[in-house]
Amino acid sequence: MPRSSAAPVADGSQRRASFQRARSTETKRSLVQAAMALWRTNGYAKTTVADICRAAGVSRALFYFYFPAKEDILFEVGLLSTRAAQKTVHQELAGGEYDVDAVIGKALRSLERSMARNPRDLIVETILEGYRQEQRILTGERPDDTDADMFGELFATAKADGKLVAHVDVGRLSRLAQMHVSEGVRHWALGGFGKQSFADVVAGDIAALIAGFNQQPRG
């Protein structure tokens, strides 16, 4: 009886799909990296889509396949920063014993180091674009296909472990904490914190927010 060739064909298709996904991710990363390098050198306003395409070595058609406009790269940069903070949180939780305030502080210090590598006006533009994209999501102009919940895993774990009271609304707490982060980034970039550390100021604000949630009566 002849051996079926279905499995090898399926395996080949899976390999091709995996390869295409890897290439897609690499191309998108190259566009983001090229844009960031140009923005740091020439400024955001003076950098065009054509400049980014030349630096990344891709066509304009390929650029628009990944990003509807230059502004969407800013939004992607903001998401990358959030995901890096999420990774820090995840690693801290994976270590076993943890302190909620300490985990938040470590994630915010990681974010602050990343911000320090970029021009402050670019950071402000990134935050403002994040607000614009959030508005588009809320009005249904774009799908909510992003994961910008920086502290969701931390708060859910802390609630399960009894570090937050049982009736705390984790989703709402996480959204408000993210608002403190976004506004903190904007104020830091505009010089609003003076010589104070972004991480110290925002971590203190979020600690106060958590304390308030823990003291709320059961609803």
Contact 202, 108 (CB under 8 A): yes
Sequence-separated (6 or more) residues with CB below 8 Å from residue 137: 143, 144, 146
Reference 199, options 213, 189, 184; nearest CA is 184
CA–CA distance, 1 with 15 (Å, rounded to integer): 28
pLDDT by position in tens, the chain (length 219): 555 555 555 565 555 545 455 567 889 999 999 999 999 999 998 999 999 999 999 999 999 999 999 999 998 888 888 899 999 999 999 988 999 999 999 999 999 998 998 899 999 999 988 888 888 888 888 777 667 789 999 999 999 999 999 999 999 999 999 999 999 999 999 999 999 999 999 999 999 999 999 987 775
CA–CA distance, 73 with 71 (Å, rounded to integer): 5
With 0-12 / 13-18 / 19 or more C-beta atoms within 10 angstroms meaning exposed / middle / buried, residue 202 is buried
- Give the pTM: 0.81
Which domains occur in the chain, in start order?
1-67 (1.10.10.60), 68-219 (1.10.357)
